[in-house]
Amino acid sequence: MAQHIEDLIRTIGTLRAPGGCPWDRKQTLANAAHYLLEEAGELLDAALADDLDNVREELSDLLFMLCFCVEILSERCPVTVADIAGEGNAKLIRRHPHVFGDRPARDSGESQERWNEIKAAEKRARGVDPDRESLLKDLPSSSAPLHQAFAYQENAADVGFDWPEVAEVWDKVAEELAELREAAELAAAPDLPAAADGDRVPGHVDSVEHEVGDLLFAVVNLARWFGVQPELALRRANHRFRWRFHSVEQQFGGSREQLQAASLAQLETAWETAKRRERDGHGHRR
What is the DSSP code string of 194-257? B-TTSSBPHHHHHHHHHHHHHHHHHHHHHHHHTT--HHHHHHHHHHHHHHHHHHHHHHTTT-HH
**E-strand spans in the chain?**
none
Is residue 116 domain-shared with residue 213, that is, in the same domain?
no
Query: Is 11 among the domain residues?
Result: yes
Cα–Cα distance, 176 to 214 (Å, whole number): 6
Does a structural domain hold residue 267?
Answer: yes
Residues 107 and 164 in one domain: no
- Is the pLDDT confidence value at 124 over 90? no
CA distance 284 to 51: 10
The residue segments making up the domain with residue 55 are 2-92
Give the mean pLDDT of the chain: 89
Confidence of residue 136 (pLDDT cuts 50, 70, 90): confident
Query: What CATH number did the domain enclosing 69 receive?
Result: 1.10.287.1080
Residue 204 has pLDDT above 70, yes or no: no
pLDDT(168) > 70: yes
Predicted TM-score of the model (pTM)? 0.62
Would you place residue 190 in the very low, low, confident or very high pLDDT band (cuts 50, 70, 90)? Answer: low
**Which of 63-77, 81-95, 136-150 is the least confident region?**
136-150
pLDDT digits (tens, 9 = 90+) for 140-150: 777 889 999 99
| Residue 9 within a domain | yes
What span, in angstroms and rounded, lies between the C-alpha atoms of 273 and 286? 18
137 lies in a domain? no
Residues 251 and 124 occupy one common structural domain: no
User: Do residue 6 and residue 123 come from a single domain?
Assistant: no
pLDDT digits (tens, 9 = 90+) for 31-68: 999 999 899 989 988 998 889 999 999 999 999 999 99
Question: Is 138 domain-assigned?
Answer: no
Asked if the structure places residue 158 within a domain, the reply is yes
In a domain, 140, yes or no: no
Please compute the mean of the pLDDT values over residues 215-228 and round it to a whole number: 96
Which amino acid does the sequence have at 68?
Answer: F
